[in-house]
Every structure is written in C-alpha cells, then in structure tokens.
Chains A and B, each alone.
Chain A
Amino acid sequence: MAEATETLEKQKKQSEPLFGKKNRRLISDPLNDNNPITVQVLGICSALAITVKMYPALVMSLSVLFVMGAGNVIVSLMRNLIPNRIRIIVQLVVVASLVILVDQVLKAFVYDVSKELSVFVGLIITNCIIMGRFEAFALTNKPWKSFLDGVGNAFGYAWILLAVAFFRELLGSGTVFGLQIIPDSWYLDAGGFYSDNGLMLLPPMALITVGVIIWVQRAKNSKLIEED
C-alpha cells in the first residue's frame, strides 16, 4: 500500500515537468487547432488595421506578446485575492498599466512606428485576446502554466498577423520588411508587365485575406468546420 502511494506520488511529480507534454500543448494548441484569431475569434480589432506593412505588424505582435505573458502571470499570481465581482476592473487596470509601459517604450525608441500604430497600441487594453485569456485561463491556473498559455496565444496571434501583413505588403507594394522583392525591370514603367495591386493596401482587403487564411486552414483541418 505504502509502496503504491509512493509510486503514485512519483508519477505525479514526473507528470508535471517544466516542459511536459501538457505544457507544450499549451503553446502548440493556439498555433493551429485553437488559434485565437481564426478559431476563438478574439483580438481581431487591432489585428486588421496594422497589417499593411510587416514592420508595424511585428512591433504590434511583440507588444502583445509582452503584455500577454506578463499580464497572465500577474493575474494568475493575484487570482486568489481578486473578489469575483470587480475582477473585470482589476484585469483592466493590470492590462492598462502594462500597455502604458509598452506605449512609453515605443515612443522613446521607435517613434515612427509608434506614430503609425497611433491609437492601436492603446487598444491592446481592450484586445479581447487578453481579457479572454485572463478570464478563461489565468484566473484558474498557476503562474507558469498561465505564462505558457499567454505566450502560446500571443504566438498564435502573431503568426496570423505576420501572414496577413506578408501578403498585403508583397502584393500591395512589392516589398517585404521594406526590402524590394519584385525586381524593378518587371514594372510597367520600366517596360515590364507587372504593377502592384493597390487594392491590397486598402483596409477591407485585410478582412478578405483573413477570410482566405481561415478557408485554407479549415480545408486542411476539417475538425474546425462549422455546422451552421
């Protein structure tokens, strides 16, 4: 009997290593099966407006990564202290403080990008991904797991953002991260056959690009198809 409990305890200890299978799933799930944008439909507001160019999209992704990782840990540490009725205000204060931090850092070091992102840095506060993960995960889990969940969801958000920005920048202005990809000689001005598709730079094309990404993802992963 004693032996049995001992092995049970051993198993319990073994079953929770720092990067165990369960913990790794916390990171890998949001990348595909449980992607925050294409499956959970969270955080679309900011995702679409800043994807004309890759660079602002990257800066935005890093900001969200920081806010989500740190915010999830803070909320998780306070989870037993927060009274249930005022939890939304407490969560908003945590996010808002982190976002102020990000905003000041961006203004100090990359002022151009900060101007380009304009109100969308502030809107990280009401980004539904962050509140959604606080509510669904950080309020009921330990800090390390919450950290992994936050980072995983931020990566899920980031890859969609970067994919949309990649297509919009490549097709819309012929560049990637500001580097010219389409050779000069292809353009009509130089006697070629190619011209950039200006439509891709307009805001509505972000929605259509995301729609197509969802289409491709669900065609490959038939679990995700909606019945309706």
Chain B
Amino acid sequence: MQELINIFVKAIFVENMIFAYFLGMCSYLAVSKKVDTAVGLGAAVIFVLGITVPVNYLLENYVLKEGALSWLGPQYANVDLSFLSFILFIAVIASMVQLVEMVVEKFAPALYGALGIFLPLIAVNCSILGGSLFMQERNYNTIGEATIFGLGSGVGWFLAIVAIAAIREKIRYSNIPAPLRGLGITFIVTGLMGIAFMAFMGIKL
C-alpha cells in the first residue's frame, strides 16, 4: 500500500508531466485561457491516462516484451516484439479514446457534454503516449502500480493546467511589454512554476 502511495505522490509532484518532462505542452498552452475549459481538459486527461496506461501495461507484459509470449507455448519464449511498441501503444490510445468517447456519450451524457470536445484532442496529447512509454521504461511490477502511476501523472497534469489557467486569467490585467503578451509571458510563467516545482526534486519516497 505504501508503495502505491509513493508512486502516486511521486507522479504528481516530483515527476510532474509538465514541469519535469514538458509533456502535453501543446494543449497545455492552447487550452489554458480559461479555468473552466482547463478543468474539463484536465479531467479528460486523468480519465484517459488511467485507462490507457494499464491496458498498455498488459500489452507490454503479455505480448511485446522479450519472453512475454511464453504463455502461448515454449517455442515463443524467445520472441521479442518490443520494436512494435510505439505503433501498438498509439493504436491502443487512439482506439481507447474513440471507445471512451462512445461509452461516455451513451451512458453519461452530462459528462460527455463537459468532456466531449476535448476527447479527440487527447489522442495526440504527448502526455498520454508519454505515460505509456515511461511505464515501459520504468518496469512497474504490478498492474496496480501502473494504474496508480497513470492516474498520478494525470492529476499532476490537471494541477498544472488549472494553475496556469488561473494565472493567465489574472495576468490579463497586468501591463506586459507588447511583444511578450500572450505566448511569451506564458512560457516564462511556466518556467518559473517549473523552478518552484523543482523544490520537490530529490525527495526520496
């Protein structure tokens, strides 16, 4: 249990998707003008990361890894399909997003109203594929750990985008040099927030 909490907290703060790895910056910069929309996109990211990371974990451990196919029979024990991981991961993500969109539309129309327009955007959000690739690189032991890692990364991303959206709503009233307005100042503010988040670095959990 303690191990799971460690992974969760680490994924949110120490290895924050935005501030430590810059993943999902494109939608982070494009959809952070208002807090409401930022909350919608952030929730959709948590949701999709929480689903795709465990699915890709199963794929990695039962299909792709060297020796992962040994459940088919001893003659498959040496097959190593890991070079296919990019294409399979992205296919899983694209189809999961499509599936999630349809299921949510059918069973939770209210949620669909809130998340609907963001779901297609998410297939090409780097943080989703990044979550799966980090999961592969860090070799988590159980599917529980992988799921918690996915959810934690999503929560970290959510926090980051809501924070920057709130700052951008306020910053509109400040007197910024004209060439820095909009994109420039957003970059610099994100950089300063990143420096603040670096205080979490080196914390051993």
Q: CB within 8 Å of B: which residues of A?
A: 38, 41-49, 88-89, 92-93, 96-97, 99-100, 103-104, 118-119, 122-123, 125-128, 131, 202-208, 210-212, 214-219, 222, 224-228
Question: Is B107 interfacial (CB-CB < 8 Å)?
Answer: no
Interface residue from B19, B26, B90 paired with A44 (Cβ < 8 Å): B26
User: CB within 8 Å of A: which of B20-75?
Assistant: 20-26, 29-30
- With A89-B91, A228-B181 known as contacts, the answer to whether A122 contacts B133 (CB < 8 A) is yes
Contact flags (1/0) for B126-161 with A, using CB distance below 8 Å?
Answer: 101110011001000000000000000000000000
Question: Is B185 interfacial (CB-CB < 8 Å)?
Answer: yes
CB distance from A215 to the nearest CB of B (A): 5
Chain B contacts for A204, CB-based, 8 A: 19, 190-195, 198
Size class of B's contact patch? 35 or more
- With A48-B22, A100-B83 known as contacts, the answer to whether A207 contacts B124 (CB < 8 A) is no
Interface residue from A38, A44, A215 paired with B177 (Cβ < 8 Å): A215
Q: CB within 8 Å of A: which residues of B?
A: 19-26, 29-30, 83-87, 90-91, 94-95, 120, 123-126, 128-130, 133-134, 137, 172, 177-188, 190-195, 198
- With A103-B86, A123-B130, A125-B129 known as contacts, the answer to whether A207 contacts B26 (CB < 8 A) is no
A127 touches B185 (CB 8 A): no
For the residues of B in contact with A, the DSSP-based class is helix
Q: 12 A-B pairs, CB-CB below 8 angstroms?
A: A44-B26, A45-B23, A89-B94, A96-B86, A100-B83, A119-B134, A122-B129, A123-B133, A126-B130, A203-B22, A207-B191, A226-B181
Ordered nearest first, which 3 A-B pairs have the shortest CB separation?
A: A204-B194, A226-B182, A207-B191
For the residues of A in contact with B, the DSSP-based class is helix
A123 touches B30 (CB 8 A): no
The distance in angstroms between the C-alpha atoms of A202 and B197, with both chains bound, is 12
Interface centre among A41, A47, A219 (most CB of B within 10 A): A41
The distance in angstroms between the C-alpha atoms of A138 and B9, with both chains bound, is 42
The distance in angstroms between the C-alpha atoms of A44 and B193, with both chains bound, is 17
Nearest residue, chain A, Cβ from B178: A225
Interface residue from B90, B123, B128, B183 paired with A214 (Cβ < 8 Å): B183
The distance in angstroms between the C-alpha atoms of A227 and B191, with both chains bound, is 23
The distance in angstroms between the C-alpha atoms of A167 and B78, with both chains bound, is 46
- With A92-B123, A215-B179 known as contacts, the answer to whether A122 contacts B188 (CB < 8 A) is no
Interface residue from A88, A104, A126, A218 paired with B129 (Cβ < 8 Å): A126
B181 touches A225 (CB 8 A): yes
Interface residue from A96, A103, A208, A216 paired with B90 (Cβ < 8 Å): A96
- With A99-B86, A226-B182 known as contacts, the answer to whether A123 contacts B91 (CB < 8 A) is no
Interface centre among A125, A210, A219 (most CB of B within 10 A): A125
B90 touches A126 (CB 8 A): yes
Interface centre among B177, B188, B192 (most CB of A within 10 A): B188
Interface residue from B29, B91, B134, B198 paired with A41 (Cβ < 8 Å): B29
B86 touches A125 (CB 8 A): yes
